[in-house]
């Protein structure tokens, strides 16, 4: 498959899967205002995913596929075809794990999309530009929660430590480019990594939380090798489309 299509699907899938996970909080948040906030982020991520899927569908139809739509891409691909980051499919855990997952992802997204913005692909850079406005808010919201919980009570501090332990091993994948990433647009992965580490370090420091060192990193999401969580996420998400093939909704 054309590397641009693969890259676009990688961006779409990561947003959709994280949106799908965050959506589980809707109606179950720790306080009403935060229920609304996480649901807002869920909607933003879903909107971003849809733009990328629509663009990928356009590219695929141009390349000779037929009848590819945003929905066929989201609902009719299998576990091995999804290219989302492993981080995005990790369980919600508690509020600490959810806000930290969002924080790690949003900071990465910001640096990556800033680089995409500089590229010549006008469609991708237009989506990146629109998304960056939303991402700025996501970072503000999630980093404030990381600080609040890290520097809140001993219990919340402990829960943040656990969240870091659970999620950190899935952040290395951000900076390990696959072949399709290398082939499309020149992204400076060293810069991406430095920016991410810098931002994350600042926030963890303010939160009184340690920056993990020398942790083994899992990879594979971008190439379709996922954790066991993804199969269940897709089974749930795709169930109606799979049960009633070709129906319109």
Site residues, other proteins (CB under 8 A): 16, 20, 23-24, 26-36, 39-40, 42-43, 46-47, 49-50, 53, 70-71, 74-75, 94-95, 147-149, 151-153, 155-156, 159, 236-237, 239-241, 244, 247-249
- Nearest approach in angstroms of CB 230 to other proteins is 14
How far apart (Å, rounded) are the C-alpha atoms in residues 70 and 84? Answer: 16
In the complex with other proteins, the residue whose CB is nearer, 116 or 149, is 149
The least distance separating other proteins from the CB of residue 54, rounded to whole angstroms, comes to 9
What one-character-per-residue DSSP string does the chain give? --HHHHHHHHHHHHHHHHHHHHHTTTTT-SSHHHHHHHHHHHHHHHHHHHHHHHHHHHHHHHTT--S--HHHHHHS--TTT----GGGGS---SHHHHHHHHHHHHHHHHHHHHHHHTSS-HHHHHHHHHHHHHHHHHHHHHHHHHHHHHTS-HHHHHHHHHHHHHHGGGSGGGG---HHHHHHS---HHHHHHHHHHHHHHHHHHHT-PPP-S------GGGT---THHHHHHHHHHHHHHHSTT---
The smaller minimum CB distance to other proteins, of residues 91 and 152, is found at 152
Q: Which is nearer to other proteins, 68 or 192 (CB)?
A: 68
Q: Which is nearer to other proteins, 149 or 192 (CB)?
A: 149
Please, what is the minimum distance in Å from the beta carbon of residue 7 to other proteins? 20
CA distance 8 to 3: 8
Measured from the CB atom, the residue of 125 and 241 that comes closer to other proteins is 241
The residue among 84 and 195 lying less far from other proteins, judged by its C-beta, is: 84
Minimum CB–partner distance for residue 93 and other proteins (Å):
11
Joined together, the tokens standing for residue 157 give 């501090």
Q: Could you tell me the smallest distance in angstroms from the CB atom of residue 187 to other proteins?
A: 27
């Amino acid at each position: 498959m054309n590397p641009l299509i693969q890259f676009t699907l990688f961006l779409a899938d990561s947003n959709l899967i994280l949106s799908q996970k965050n959506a589980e909080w809707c109606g179950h948040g720790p306080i009403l205002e935060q229920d609304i906030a996480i649901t807002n982020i869920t909607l933003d991520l879903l909107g971003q995913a849809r733009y990328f899927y629509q663009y990928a569908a356009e590219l695929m139809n141009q390349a000779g596929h037929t009848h590819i739509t945003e929905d066929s891409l989201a609902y009719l691909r299998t576990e091995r075809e999804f290219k989302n980051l492993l981080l995005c499919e990790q369980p919600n855990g508690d509020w600490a794990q959810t806000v930290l997952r969002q924080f790690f992802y949003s900071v990465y997204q910001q640096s990556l999309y800033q680089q995409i913005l500089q590229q010549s692909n006008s469609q991708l850079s237009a989506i990146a530009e629109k998304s960056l406005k939303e991402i700025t808010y996501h970072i503000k919201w999630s980093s404030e929660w990381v600080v609040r919980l890290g520097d809140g009570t001993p219990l919340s501090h402990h829960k943040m430590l656990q969240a870091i332990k659970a999620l950190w091993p899935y952040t290395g994948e951000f900076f390990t480019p696959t072949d399709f990433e290398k082939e499309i647009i020149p992204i400076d992965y060293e810069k991406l990594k430095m920016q991410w580490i810098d931002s994350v370090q600042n926030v963890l420091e303010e939160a009184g939380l340690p920056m993990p060192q020398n942790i083994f990193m899992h990879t594979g999401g971008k190439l379709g090798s996922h954790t066991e969580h993804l199969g269940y996420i897709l089974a749930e998400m795709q169930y109606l489309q799979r049960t009633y093939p070709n129906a319109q909704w």
